[in-house]
Amino acid sequence: MPGSTFAEKILARKGGKDRVQPGQIVTVRPDHLLSHDNTSAIVEKIAKDLAEFGVADPDLHVIVLDHVIPAASDKIAAGHKAVREYVRRYGVRHFYDIGEGICHQIMIEKGLALPGMLVVGSDSHTCMYGAVGCFATGIDRTEAAALLLTGETWLKVPTSIRVGLRGRLHPAVTAKDLVLTVIRGIGADGASYQSVEFHGALGRLTVDDRLTVANMGVEMGAKAATFEPDADVLAYLDSIGASRESYQPVWADADAAYERRLDYDLSALGPVVARPHTVDNVAPIEDVAGTAIDQFFLGTCTNGRISDFELAAKILKGRKVAAGSRLLILPASRDILQRGIASGAISALIEAGGVLLPPGCGPCLGAHLGVLAPGERCLSTANRNFKGRMGCPDSEVFLASPATVAASAIHGKITDPRKELTR
């Protein structure tokens, strides 16, 4: 009998079973449930049941207000107020109010997603926590509501895809280029309800890199996207104060069975851009170079970390954003903002003409700040470029790496970052 994949091991452990098989249904008790501004809608579904029975476990629920912050309307403000009242009434300890950061970054920074854990969230990019060896996946609001009342839910054991990596990325080529290249190969739904495991030259990818890749697992349809919790991950967790006694790392067996095996040579990759209006509409930068851009967006839960800002600042320092264009800067958390200020990266970006936004999600989903006008184009480090994603159905969103966004902002058009990093 072959060994077990990462997903099979985690779901067997959490389901109280010795072994599970793809397609099997298991009842599990997740370590955490994440929700954000949508918490008000979730608890409203079960208001009567909550009043009668309360929540199954107040420590299960993690809430981060991040999607429209500060509140942009009285309706949004009322939703935020309802969340705060719920937190007080039911003793939810893991609550992070506006300004702390984007929910996915907070889950990582606060040590709420750790190796060997099972975390679910009412947000599709919950899969980001796979970067640290956590089985993390999105669920819908109805599932989240039931989980609050019962403390358990069910999952189907997914089949798995093994992605092997070798070589080293060029300095101007980033993890964003890697994951877009993988998505181009697999397709937007090519990994539907599958667990994607990354193997091989993981030491060539920082924890920040892995967060970027895992974050976009859902853009290939994956149920989860995971990396082995190796020495680099453990060192990162040590740095944020996560005790090694608080988690039990798990990884796939060497002889595990996979539905597909893919391999990528990192050294052969170049900068790429995802064109409107699908994430798998990916082209080499040479094919889109020269495309005029109105707005450049650097940040989000995908690429709003300190390493992203320092790379962009290296390119933009002493330069200016092109006349007629604008650059938005959005750190993924308060901690990253403070570190960016201390390192000088944020100042360099502001001096180049960047506009600093509060840590949150607003521009990424077109809900608040940075909404596009009809006919405008945005080159973004976010994770989606669907029609209307940034608020206007008559606009266009292109996805690229922080290096490509920074280099392009100088010229007001899509530009190969290798030219700027070698100048």
Residues 98, 279: Cα–Cα separation, whole Å: 29
Residues 374, 353: Cα–Cα separation, whole Å: 23
pLDDT at 2 over 90: no
User: What pLDDT, on a 0 to 100 scale, did the predictor assign at position 212?
Assistant: 98
Burial class (CB in 10 A: 0-12, 13-18, 19+), 290: exposed
Under DSSP, the state recorded for 275 is P
**What is the CB neighbour count within 10 angstroms for residue 338?**
13
In tens, the pLDDT along 89-102 reads 999 999 999 999 99
Residues 214, 226: Cα–Cα separation, whole Å: 6
More confident call, 387 vs 218: 218
Average per-residue pLDDT for the chain: 95
In tens, the pLDDT along 354-392 reads 999 999 988 888 888 999 999 999 999 999 999 888 888
pLDDT at 1 over 80: no
Q: Which three-class secondary structure string do you get for 139-168?
A: CCHHHHHHHHHHCCEEEECCEEEEEEEECC
Under DSSP, the state recorded for 340 is H
Do residues 393 and 411 make contact, with C-beta atoms less than 8 angstroms apart? no
* Residue 419 confidence class, pLDDT cut points 50, 70, 90: confident
In tens, the pLDDT along 169-187 reads 999 999 999 999 999 999 9
Question: 3-state DSSP call for residue 137?
Answer: strand
Instruction: Name all contacts of 90-95 with Cβ < 8 Å and 24+ positions apart.
Output: 90/50, 90/54, 90/55, 90/58, 91/58, 92/55, 92/58, 92/61, 92/63, 93/58, 93/59, 94/32, 94/59, 94/61, 94/62, 94/63, 95/62, 95/63, 95/64
In tens, the pLDDT along 67-91 reads 999 999 999 999 999 999 999 999 9
Residues 62, 105: Cα–Cα separation, whole Å: 12
- Strands (DSSP E) along 266-333, which ranges? 272-274, 282-284, 295-299, 326-330
The tokens for 110 are 């606060």
User: What pLDDT, on a 0 to 100 scale, did the predictor assign at position 423?
Assistant: 54
pLDDT at 335 over 80: yes
Residues 161, 199: Cα–Cα separation, whole Å: 11
The tokens for 75 are 């309706």
User: What pLDDT, on a 0 to 100 scale, did the predictor assign at position 422?
Assistant: 63
pLDDT at 229 over 80: yes
The tokens for 322 are 């092109």
- H/E stretch holding 136 reads strand 135-138
- H/E stretch holding 62 reads strand 61-64
Look-up of token digits 């391999």: 263
User: What pLDDT, on a 0 to 100 scale, did the predictor assign at position 362?
Assistant: 85
Give the HSE-up count for residue 185: Cα atoms under 13 Å, Cβ half-sphere: 15
pTM: 0.95
Structural domains of the chain, with CATH: 6-16+23-264 (3.30.499.10), 274-421 (3.30.499.10)
